[in-house]
Amino acid sequence: MQDMKSKIAVITGANRGLGFAMSEKLASLGAKVIMACRSKKSGEEAVSKLKDKKLDVVLEVVDVEKPGDIEKLGKELAKKYPVIDVLINNAGINSEGGGVTIETLDLPLFEKIMNINLRGTVLMCKYLIPMLKKSSSGRIINFSSGLGQLTVPRMGPYPSYSISKTAVNGLTKKLADELKGTKIMVFSLDPGWVKTDMGGPEAPLPISEGIDTPIWLATEDAAKLHSGEFYKERKILGW
């Protein structure tokens, strides 16, 4: 396991759920965590909770649906920090009804889901990769889903969400190939069905289990990991 002291991690959607829990865990391991949140108010509340525990966290307000916000974040981070070690693209939405099909999908909602889940992830990578390249062991961890997996019959409902997460898996493979000559490793992961605001109260997994694999990917020795792969429960899944 890597020593996380002096490491700097950026986590999107960090004010609640999995993002908040990952922020707390990485900070407790000694990392400085930049909690990227859309809402300033809820972001300040989340940061305050962790600062009360003497953890090294800071807030950056960014709406990943807005390309200008992400570009501005990249510039701000480049001014403040010489290097970024970990980027966790956690922010995402699934506000589509379960009975929606391609024939019945709402185009504005489809575009919103794609813009947040896919474009937001692409642009976070675009603007932070220059800082990640300066790390001795950079990590990009993209949140995907079993609904984005093509090798088993998991597509099911939620076409916009499923397509966005399949595309995130494609982005992960593409980035891993582009970054072969660097010290950056890129992963996507399925955290499972977790009890969060998105997962709902019927989800079987606690948040502690949902963050296990991404924290492991952020902290494990590089020699034990495989860049460009799709992980669940610390194991490689088929695409």
Active-site annotation, residues: 161
What is the residue type of 225?
L
**159-178 and 120-132 are packed helices; what angle lies between their axes, rounded to 10 degrees?**
20
**Which three-class secondary structure state does DSSP give residue 92?**
coil
Buried b (16+ CB within 10 A) or exposed e, 114-136: bbbbbbbbbbbbebbbebbeebe
| Angle, alpha carbons 133-25-42 (nearest 5°) | 95
| 223 Cβ contact list (under 8 Å, min separation 6) | none
| 207 Cβ contact list (under 8 Å, min separation 6) | 17, 18, 21, 194, 195, 196
Please, is 81 exposed, middle or buried when counting C-beta atoms within 10 Å of its C-beta (0-12, 13-18, 19+)?
Answer: middle
